Structure formats: C-alpha cells, structure tokens
Chains A and B, each alone.
Chain A
Amino acid sequence: METCFDVKNIDLFYGDKQALKDVNMEIYKNRVTAFIGPSGCGKSTFIRCLNRMNDLIEGCKVSGEIIKDGLDIYSPKQDIVDLRTRVGMVFQKPNPFPMSIYDNIAYGPRCQGLKDKKKLDEIVTTSLKQVALYDEVADRLGDSAIGLSGGQQQRLCIARCIAMSPEVILMDEPTSALDPISTSKIEDLCLELKKDYTIVIVTHNMQQAARISDYTAFFLLGEVVEMDETDTIFSHPKDKRTENYITGRFG
C-alpha cells in the first residue's frame, strides 16, 4: 500500500498550550482514514495540519514532519497554494460561497487561471455528477448556492473540492450539521470517492467511522492512543482507553 502522508513527531502549540503531542502515523492512498475521539482531543487540529490551515491561526506553532511525496509539507520549499490544491478540505458547516452553483465549483480552477469556458463547463458537470448532485441542480446552475438545502450545500462543497482534482480530501466532521438522510448520502459518497481519492475524515460519530473507514485513529488529549484497521479497533482494541471510549464509557 502506498503512503500518502507520513507523519513524524508532530507537536502543536496554541501559544503555550500544547494541543498535539508527538503524533505519528501513516495515512494510506485510496483509503478512508477516520479520526475519532472526544471533543477537544486534537483530531480537528491534526487534520488541519495536513493542508496547513493551522497557518491561519495566530500563535500556532508546529514542529515535526509530515512527509508527502518525499517533501515535508512544513518545509520552506513547500508551496502552500500547491499543497492546498492537492489536499482539499470540506468543513463542518456547509460553507458555499454567496454566488451561483456554477461559480462555486468553478471558483478553484478560476483562481488557478483557468478561463476556458468549455473546460470549466466540463469540470462543473463532472464534479457535480461525482457527488450525485447533478440531476438535482442541472437546470439551475445559475441560481445562488445559498438556496440549496444543507445536505445539498455540503455535497456542493465536496464537488467544489473535487473540481480541483486533488489527491486527498480532508473532511472535518462533514455531517455533524446534517440530517440522517443527507448524512447517509455523504457516507455513500465517501465510499464511492475513495476509488479516486485518499479520504481523511474527522467524526464525532463512532458508527460513522465504523461504517465508512478502513483505518481509524483514536485521539485523546492531543495524543494518538491507538491507530489500526477499523475492524481491529472496534473489535479488539489494544488500549484500555480506546475500549472504554468505543464502548461508550466516556466521551
């Protein structure tokens, strides 16, 4: 199996407060990797390291290495725009731009200087088809994306991310603001998308991790307690704390 991210000794501080302690893991290509753990355990903080969204937070310091394609993404040689076009992200709350459905999806490619109308049309269509949204919106691509339902908005955000043809899609609790039907649609989508993309997903919902992920990492107080194949984690956890968490004794 090919490695997508090789994470070595990541420590992260918000000011004086340490949010991640010596995180080590490998994330594999074309697999779904889930991060679980109670609130404040550092799982969202860690996923934001993978596309360097933490750079935006004042007073955030990261040490250690995250190797992607032979290069540490925190090294000065790494171009951040290039990294973010290859590692896309879907957020907790659906956040479509206040523009048309078409413009939302064309936004990323346009920022990279793509102007060819034909190519943009093609990207918009294929991206929407991949998230199974095309049939629902085909006749109103010019309408504002704000008018879509929450579930549709989140699929639009995934399509917007796919439009950049990234290698990795990071999802930070993508279904926590959605109803059960929309949630199951997004979960199906994850299984579909892992053929073409590496998916990393943070989730509050252990069943969700069990349903869709191949690998699961359990975070607690900024540390990775345990990481293994999802089946193993849920059936034979090695660490007592993991067992307590997945059996619902805390968290």
Chain B
Amino acid sequence: MLIDKKRVKRNKALDKFFRGFFMAMAILSSSFIVIIVLFVCAKGISPFLPGYEYGQVDLISFLTGSIYRQDQGIYGVGFIIINTLISAFLALVISFPLSVLTALFIAKIAPKKLSAAMQSVVELLAAVPSVVYGVFASGVITGVVEWIASLFGITTFGGSSLLAVVLLLAIMIFPTLTSMSITAIRAVDPNLEQASLALGATKTQTNFKICLTAAKSGIFAGAILGLGRAYGEATAVAMVAGNKLFGPTFNPFDITRTLTSTMLAGLKETTGLDYDIRFSVGLVLIVVIFFSNWILNMVKKRIGRNSVA
C-alpha cells in the first residue's frame, strides 16, 4: 500500500499549520502599514484640535497658507503642496521620454551584449542611495544651474533652486521608469511584431506603433511608481531645495520648498509645535500621493484599454 493513513493525516495538519503561519506573517506586515498611518494621523491631527498644548493651529490657514516660518510660528503649507506637485511633475516630464526611449533601445534595438550592459547600469542607478544623489546634486547640478542662470544674467542662491530639484528628481526616477518600461516592452507578444513586419512595416514603425502601444499600460505603471518616488524623495531634495519661506515658486532659478524638505529640515533640533507639525505635513504628503495615484490609475485604465502588457 502506497498511501499511509497516518502520513496523510500529518500532511493535512502541516498544511493547516502553514496556512495559519503565512496568514500571520501577512497580517503582521500589513499591520505595520496601518500602525504607521494611524500614528502619523494621530500626531498630525493633534495640532488642529482644541486644547492642543502648544496652542491650536487653524486647519484652513494651514492648508491654504503661503508662508511657512517656524521662527514666527506661521505654518502654511498650501504653497508647499503646489511646489511639490510642480517639481515632481516636471521631473516626470523630463524623465519620461528619456526613459521610454532608453528602454526601447535596450529592449529592442541594442545588440545583446550592449543591451545587457546598459541594463545593469540602469539597475545600478536604482541601487544608488538617495543621499549620494544629493551630494552629487549639491556638488554638480547646482553648478550647472548657476551656469545656466548666468547665461540669462540671473544670480541664484548658490544653484539651489527649483530647477536643481527638478533635474535631480528626473535623474532619480529615471532607473525606475526605465526598468519598468523594459519589462513592459519585453512582455509584448513577439507574434505582434512579426505580424507588423510581415505587413511591410519597418523596424522603427513596429517599435513605435506596436511595441510601445502594446506596452503602454506597463510603461504608465512605471510612471506612477516614478512619480511616487519623486513626491517622497526627501534627503537629496532637501540638499538643493533651499527651503524658501513663502511661495509658491514658479521661477526655475528661485529656491523652493517641498513637503519632504520641510519635514526634514532641522527635525532633530526642534520640539513642540514645530516638531508635531511635521507629522501634519507628512499626512498632507500621504494624501497628495494618494490622490495623485488615484487620478493616474484612472488615466491608466483609460489609456490601457487596448494594451496587452
């Protein structure tokens, strides 16, 4: 007899145990997220509640305010939200076409060896810690910005500027966008390419009209991830933003202030309201990212209807 009844019973018990074990793990890890959000919410909301120990802050003027001065106790993040949206969005505008075309080259055009080498470079870029990007930005990008500004006869604050933030973020989200796009383009059914070539389309026509169209949903998913990174990047951004006290900043050569740089600047040297309010700013950031992702996902659904990857 092959089937040992005892063994069957034991296997069943094991099965049950592992199912429970995996579930416990899943609950544990997802509960971290819940705990973090709850904690940030509780801390972040407290300054707006009556009876707050350092003096209640008005929620409306906090959300719509255009001045942020710790020294005077004025906290308005309205302009900072706009700054954050502008810098992340502009970074995406610069990085998106570059990444997609690079991905197309790596996935479809480059010879095998070059393609493999370039892909490892892209992956390496994704692994560089953000603080390293930050020192690069404050050492190099600011210099470039200063030079560009001097061409227009403008003086900058040592190169720290909206433009520097945008360029930095564009570089930082490039690896994410590119890797996602490569994956999406590689996932396109080779039969579609063959059909296109068999119809007398050139390689280039096939790459643009078939590969990119079929992969657009995956490419867009990369854009969403990249934008998320651009919103959330703190260390490097704080190193070149300049933390302006009022705004919003539309002039690319003027210093700016993002939600993340606001949270980070001087975090360790402060207490009381100025400390607590950073949780409120963090909460605003979470909400901004949530809304932006929600909108982009709707757009993705619309444009992705005819996509296969």
A interface, CB within 8 angstroms of B: 51, 53, 56, 81-82, 84-85, 88-89, 91, 93, 95, 97-100, 107-108, 111-112, 144, 146, 157, 160-161, 164
The complex places the Cα of A161 from the Cα of B201 at a distance, in Å, of 12
Residues from chain A with Cβ under 8 Å of B202 in the complex = 81, 111
The complex places the Cα of A85 from the Cα of B200 at a distance, in Å, of 5
The complex places the Cα of A84 from the Cα of B197 at a distance, in Å, of 8
Is A157 a contact partner of B195 (Cβ separation < 8 A)? Answer: yes
B interface, CB within 8 angstroms of A: 189, 191-192, 194-202, 205, 209-210, 213-214, 305-308
Shortest beta-carbon distance, A168 to chain B, in Å?
A: 12
Determine the residue in chain B with the shortest Cβ distance to A86: B200
**Given A93-B191, A95-B192, A99-B213, residue A53 in contact with residue B198 (CB < 8 A):** yes
Residues from chain B with Cβ under 8 Å of A144 in the complex = 305-306
Q: How many A-B residue pairs have CB under 8 A?
A: 71
The complex places the Cα of A84 from the Cα of B307 at a distance, in Å, of 26
**Given A93-B191, A111-B205, residue A98 in contact with residue B197 (CB < 8 A):** no
Is B199 a contact partner of A98 (Cβ separation < 8 A)? Answer: no
Is A84 a contact partner of B198 (Cβ separation < 8 A)? Answer: yes
Is A89 a contact partner of B198 (Cβ separation < 8 A)? Answer: yes
Determine the residue in chain A with the shortest Cβ distance to B199: A108
**Given A91-B194, A95-B191, A95-B195, residue A111 in contact with residue B306 (CB < 8 A):** no
What would be 16 A-B contacts, judged by CB atoms less than 8 Å apart? A53-B198, A81-B201, A84-B199, A85-B200, A89-B198, A97-B213, A98-B192, A98-B213, A99-B306, A107-B196, A107-B199, A108-B200, A144-B305, A144-B306, A157-B195, A160-B199
- Given A97-B196, A98-B308, 13 other A-B contacts at CB below 8 A? A51-B198, A56-B197, A84-B198, A84-B199, A91-B195, A91-B198, A95-B189, A98-B307, A108-B199, A111-B202, A111-B209, A161-B199, A164-B199
Determine the residue in chain B with the shortest Cβ distance to A145: B306
The complex places the Cα of A91 from the Cα of B202 at a distance, in Å, of 19
The complex places the Cα of A9 from the Cα of B196 at a distance, in Å, of 29
The complex places the Cα of A127 from the Cα of B240 at a distance, in Å, of 60
Residues from chain B with Cβ under 8 Å of A53 in the complex = 194, 197-198
Is B214 a contact partner of A98 (Cβ separation < 8 A)? Answer: yes
Residues from chain B with Cβ under 8 Å of A111 in the complex = 196, 199-202, 205, 209
Residues from chain A with Cβ under 8 Å of B214 in the complex = 97-98
Determine the residue in chain A with the shortest Cβ distance to B193: A56
Residues from chain B with Cβ under 8 Å of A89 in the complex = 195, 198
Residues from chain A with Cβ under 8 Å of B201 in the complex = 81, 107-108, 111
Residues from chain B with Cβ under 8 Å of A91 in the complex = 191, 194-195, 198
Residues from chain B with Cβ under 8 Å of A108 in the complex = 199-201
Determine the residue in chain B with the shortest Cβ distance to A95: B191
The complex places the Cα of A118 from the Cα of B205 at a distance, in Å, of 23
**Given A99-B213, A100-B306, A144-B306, residue A112 in contact with residue B192 (CB < 8 A):** no
Is A98 a contact partner of B306 (Cβ separation < 8 A)? Answer: yes
Query: Which of B201, B205, B214, B305 is most buried by chain A, counting CB atoms within 10 A of its CB?
Result: B201
The complex places the Cα of A95 from the Cα of B190 at a distance, in Å, of 10
Residues from chain A with Cβ under 8 Å of B192 in the complex = 95, 97-98
Residues from chain B with Cβ under 8 Å of A84 in the complex = 197-200
Query: Which of B198, B210, B213 is most buried by chain A, counting CB atoms within 10 A of its CB?
Result: B198
Residues from chain B with Cβ under 8 Å of A99 in the complex = 213, 306
Residues from chain A with Cβ under 8 Å of B191 in the complex = 91, 93, 95
Residues from chain B with Cβ under 8 Å of A95 in the complex = 189, 191-192, 194-195
Shortest beta-carbon distance, A211 to chain B, in Å?
A: 25
Is A88 a contact partner of B196 (Cβ separation < 8 A)? Answer: no
The complex places the Cα of A160 from the Cα of B210 at a distance, in Å, of 15
Determine the residue in chain A with the shortest Cβ distance to B214: A98
Residues from chain B with Cβ under 8 Å of A146 in the complex = 306, 308
The complex places the Cα of A99 from the Cα of B307 at a distance, in Å, of 8
Determine the residue in chain B with the shortest Cβ distance to A163: B199
Shortest beta-carbon distance, B239 to chain A, in Å?
A: 43
The complex places the Cα of A49 from the Cα of B265 at a distance, in Å, of 67
Determine the residue in chain A with the shortest Cβ distance to B205: A111
Residues from chain B with Cβ under 8 Å of A97 in the complex = 192, 195-196, 210, 213-214
Determine the residue in chain A with the shortest Cβ distance to B308: A98
| Nearest 5 Cβ contacts at the A-B interface | A85-B200, A108-B199, A89-B198, A95-B191, A84-B200
The complex places the Cα of A91 from the Cα of B198 at a distance, in Å, of 10
**Given A93-B191, A98-B306, residue A107 in contact with residue B209 (CB < 8 A):** yes
Residues from chain B with Cβ under 8 Å of A93 in the complex = 191
Shortest beta-carbon distance, B194 to chain A, in Å?
A: 7
The complex places the Cα of A85 from the Cα of B198 at a distance, in Å, of 8
Residues from chain A with Cβ under 8 Å of B198 in the complex = 51, 53, 84, 88-89, 91, 161
The complex places the Cα of A164 from the Cα of B200 at a distance, in Å, of 9
The complex places the Cα of A97 from the Cα of B189 at a distance, in Å, of 10
Shortest beta-carbon distance, B73 to chain A, in Å?
A: 57
Contact partner of A81 (CB less than 8 A), chosen from B194, B200, B305, is B200
Shortest beta-carbon distance, B118 to chain A, in Å?
A: 19
